[in-house]
Amino acid sequence: MTEQKRFTLRMDGELFETIKKQAETNKRSVAKEIEHLLEQHLKSQEEDK
C-alpha cells in the first residue's frame, strides 16, 4: 500500500456540498469521494492521450 499524504484543501462551499451529496450517494467519505473523482479524471486524461 502506498503512503497516504495529508493536506488542506480549500474549495467553494457549493462545490463542497455537491461533492458531499455525491459521497453520501456512493457511501464514501468526502475525502474518498474527492480521491475517487481525481483518479477518474486522471485516468480519463491518460486514455485521451
Quick one: three-class SS letters along 21-33? HHHHHCCCCHHHH
DSSP 1-49: -PPP--------HHHHHHHHHHHHHTT--HHHHHHHHHHHHHHHHHHH-
pLDDT 10s digits, 6-45: 999 999 999 999 999 999 999 999 999 999 999 999 999 9
Band the pLDDT of 2: cuts 50, 70, 90: confident
Retrieve residue 46's grid coordinates. 491518460
Query: What is the Cα–Cα distance from 39 to 47, expressed in whole angstroms?
Result: 12
